Structure 1
């Protein structure tokens, strides 16, 4: 895959996202598909109430169209690309149902945690079975080393944990305008480059499609956001990102590439453990991006710092493989 092809993939996905957003945002506003803001969240966020949500539909459609069209044209439609798009659509559907129940049916809790978990497990298992139809390694390797361990039949349990964990990690991170769209576009670009290095052009095609689609969405999601991705987008992104790391056999490298998502999740876990065991909170509010907001940082400053951290982590992960 040449540099020109890579740029073309990103550009096409970018344009499709931007064009889809133009009519969809006012349509969602007319339908009153607006985001409700938690009262216990930062007070500065109350002004965002009513901003159209479920915008993940925009980049999901862009990714699917770009990957299928260019994959077919370039002979890159493989079982792996199909599985990636299946995870994207499946996790996106779970998020869409959750958003629909909360926004349209006005039931604040949306899908229950158990309902979402069952849906995520089903998608993970179906993906695993599809992959096992062909040659599929059940090993997990330690990044930057030759050490690896074969999980054998237990790999399916790891896959479930990985997809569920990262889909929810990205979902937790989605609390500031442009935060997830920016950090995710960096992560997918990193895996796109790794795919080229490893000769997995089919995976690079999907990764760069996601990058372009997210950048197109970011035009409307950056502060002040005109649309939010909702669970529709965040669950889909986390699921496909985790699956991408699995197919590249760089599962644990995702802990570095997705360091922002990992830290956000750890901040929530630590906050809960601390409060339940000592009655005290470690952070002013979790996830940790809210802690910085309540410490006096502007929303833009938090987002830029987190984007920078994501970029630094991606470079650390990719450069040893490229050089």
Structure 2
């Protein structure tokens, strides 16, 4: 574990040194994010190339401390990381359409699982591809508030990294801890008021790597590699760790489709936007969502004897109830005639709206 701590600290320090360089570089070339007065809250131009420093910190650590010769799958993983990051960087600089994003996310996911593709049933491979694409978009969608995507990415990969290390999966556990350290270095400059943004490049890659670590964690736990975990609850524990970005992404996409809009159209209906409507500051929103996420993990660990099916139903039920309560509180403040049933009929199914 001392080795893992070293990975974390090295990545953190490297990214913390690189961020000021990226900020100066961004403004020299005019590559910054402008406030649009609609979906963006910042009142000044801010560099959107923070992903460059995070990616450099991650890849430098991986190349220095990981033995790529002993694991062919690791080479596939790095190829997938580079491809997805390149797409995201193009989006941060020039803009990219949603269809091209999805296409490259699919290719990156296929590369990531292709080394073991023939060893599994086809539907398992398709399910993994869906998971990777979902998480790429989930982390990209929550990257709309200072510190949020970085904090959740840090928590997710720190959790998986520590448990993978304890289970003797040092290669992938090391990558998770390297990413955690890189995100920690980035967050020194990203908490409100942010001096730099992560950008689509690193937000999508954080989602991809988080999905990879979740699968490694499930495989390790299913094989009895983590002594205090029940093998038939590993999937639910992994979902609990990822629950905030996963539920927010699924909820927003579903509501957009029910309202006959493109699932990729922008709006201010994400969980962080809705908590801001309640009057919370950026820092408070990040803290509350992190505590909620940790609470879901702790609850799942305590109830792991219930098994995957029951726990997954419980996790989503809590999220649906919490979301409905938040919707009711927001709408009731603006409309005294708003009723509890309107959460489902008006705001979810789009029935009865004027």
TM-score (norm 2): 0.73
Where does the alignment leave 5 or more consecutive residues of structure 2 unmatched?
Answer: 220-233, 262-266, 305-354
Find the counterpart in structure 2 of residue 198 from structure 1.
167
Find the counterpart in structure 2 of residue 123 from structure 1.
108
Structure with max Cα Rg: 2
Q: How does 1:57-76 map to 2 (within 5 A)?
A: 57-72=52-67
Q: Is 1:153 matched with 2:122? A: yes
TM-score (norm 1): 0.80
Find the counterpart in structure 1 of residue 274 from structure 2.
291
* C-alpha distance 60-313 of structure 1, shift in aligned 2 (>3 A): farther
Q: Is 1:179 matched with 2:148? A: yes
* C-alpha distance 96-252 of structure 1, shift in aligned 2 (>3 A): farther
Find the counterpart in structure 2 of residue 227 from structure 1.
196
Find the counterpart in structure 1 of residue 87 from structure 2.
94
Deviation, structure 1 residue 36: 2.8
- For this pair of structures, how many residues does the alignment match? 284
Cα distance in 2 for partners of 1:77, 1:220 equals: 36
The question of whether the paired residues in 2 share the 8 Å contact of 1:190 and 1:318 is answered with no
Deviation, structure 1 residue 38: 4.0
Where does the alignment leave 5 or more consecutive residues of structure 1 unmatched?
Answer: 102-109, 139-151, 278-283
* C-alpha distance 79-315 of structure 1, shift in aligned 2 (>3 A): farther
Q: How does 1:257-296 map to 2 (within 5 A)?
A: 257-273=241-257, 275-276=259-260, 285-296=268-279
Q: Is 1:82 matched with 2:75? A: yes
The question of whether the paired residues in 2 share the 8 Å contact of 1:81 and 1:206 is answered with no
Deviation, structure 1 residue 211: 0.6
Report runs of 4+ in structure 1 exceeding 6 Å deviation: 318-321
User: Per-residue CA shift, 1:196-255, capped at 9, x if unaligned?
Assistant: 233211111101001111000100111111100110110111111112222333665432
Q: CA RMSD in A?
A: 2.5
Find the counterpart in structure 2 of residue 31 from structure 1.
29
Q: Using CA pairs under 8 Å that are at least 6 residues apart, name the structure with larger relative contact order, 1 or 2.
A: 1
The question of whether the paired residues in 2 share the 8 Å contact of 1:185 and 1:210 is answered with yes
Cα distance in 1 for partners of 2:294, 2:77 equals: 23
